[in-house]
């Protein structure tokens, strides 16, 4: 594994990795266990991924932990997921501090149970001066919902004469997204074999490389993250330019 890690070019890692952590339920079902057993083991993969990202110098990691649609799951599963979030935050604070990781959230945080909001606030406050990796948890997050909010907030400013319509550009929109403090996503990973975006960071992934793996989230470990990043490094990102133009830039 050390050799695998060392084969990653440190100056060519994606700045921002986003992950759709999928397959906890199926992983548990394969083992004849309740779905929540999958989520519990999913937390171990979250820890491994954070550490792996820290080890290779990733600056931003964004995890899709709970979508606006996930509220429709059975009540008990939602409740247990929220409890798991709180207990994980309590337990993992030490890991965050040791690895100089700053916690951030995106989504309708006000919809979460008060206990989760309180714990998140505390950990965000305690880690606010860390600066190696920014870990963003998407909680009660939906990209369309985010864009609706952006439009409402920009419209308010236009109505109040704080902003002119002609001034609206991509930068203004970026600055109104939940992700205003994050750079665009370079690399999007989805586990469990599904090849969908599921309402995650639609605006922010405009030029992201996509990586789909059949590995179920609880089986996703450091090695899987390193392999994914190695594949990213073999891809050519053209941003609408030709191959020849890109070769010139890299010369």
Q: Which residues are catalytic?
A: 22, 70
Going residue by residue from 85 to 104, which x/- string records binding to ligand FPP, judged by CB under 6 A? x--x----------------
Q: Which residues contact 196 (CB under 8 A, 6 or more apart)?
A: 190
- State the pairing for strand pair 187-190/209-212: parallel
Q: Is 18 in the site for ligand FPP (CB under 6 A)?
A: no
According to the annotation, is 237 in a ligand binding site?
no
Give the whole-angstrom CA distance, residue 204 versus residue 234: 22
Q: Are 5 and 183 in contact (CB under 8 A)?
A: no
Give the interface segment with ligand FPP, choosing from 16-24, 103-111, 126-134, 145-153 (CB under 6 A). Answer: 16-24
At 105, is the secondary structure helix, strand, or coil? strand
Binding test (CB under 6 A) with ligand FPP, winner from 103, 137, 177, 201: 137
Q: What's the distance, CA 176 to chain centroid?
A: 18
Q: Are 85 and 115 in contact (CB under 8 A)?
A: no
Going residue by residue from 138 to 157, which x/- string records binding to ligand FPP, judged by CB under 6 A? --------------------
Give the interface segment with ligand FPP, choosing from 39-47, 113-121, 205-213, 243-251 (CB under 6 A). Answer: 39-47
Q: Is 23 in the site for ligand FPP (CB under 6 A)?
A: yes
At 250, is the secondary structure helix, strand, or coil? helix
Q: Is 26 in the site for ligand FPP (CB under 6 A)?
A: yes
Q: Is 46 in the site for ligand FPP (CB under 6 A)?
A: yes
At 130, is the secondary structure helix, strand, or coil? coil
At 218, is the secondary structure helix, strand, or coil? helix
Q: Binding site membership for Mg(2+): which residues?
A: 22, 209
Q: Which residues bind ligand FPP (CB under 6 A)?
A: 21-26, 39, 42-43, 46, 63, 65, 70, 84-85, 88, 137
């Amino acid at each position: 594994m050390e050799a695998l890690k060392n084969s990653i070019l440190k100056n060519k890692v994606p700045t921002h990795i986003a992950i759709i952590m999928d397959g906890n339920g199926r992983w548990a079902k394969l083992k004849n266990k309740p779905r929540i057993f999958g989520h519990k083991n999913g937390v171990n993969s979250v820890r491994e991924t954070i550490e792996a990202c820290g080890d290779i110098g990733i600056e931003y990691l964004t995890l899709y932990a709970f979508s606006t649609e996930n509220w429709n799951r059975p009540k008990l599963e939602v409740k247990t997921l929220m409890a798991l979030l709180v207990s994980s935050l309590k337990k993992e604070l030490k890991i965050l501090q040791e690895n100089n990781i700053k916690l951030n959230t995106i989504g309708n945080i006000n919809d979460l149970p008060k206990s989760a909001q309180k714990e998140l606030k505390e950990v965000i406050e305690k880690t606010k001066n860390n600066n190696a990796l920014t870990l963003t948890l998407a909680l009660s997050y939906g990209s369309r919902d985010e864009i609706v909010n952006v439009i409402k907030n920009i419209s308010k400013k236009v109505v109040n004469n704080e902003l002119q319509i002609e001034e609206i550009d991509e930068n203004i929109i970026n600055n109104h997204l939940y992700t205003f403090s994050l750079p665009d996503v370079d690399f999007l990973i989805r586990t469990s074999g599904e090849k969908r975006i599921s309402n995650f960071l639609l605006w922010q992934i405009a030029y992201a490389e996509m990586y789909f793996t059949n590995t179920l989230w609880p089986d996703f470990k450091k090695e899987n993250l390193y392999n994914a990043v190695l594949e990213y490094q073999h891809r050519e990102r053209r941003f609408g330019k030709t191959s020849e133009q890109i070769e010139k830039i890299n010369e």
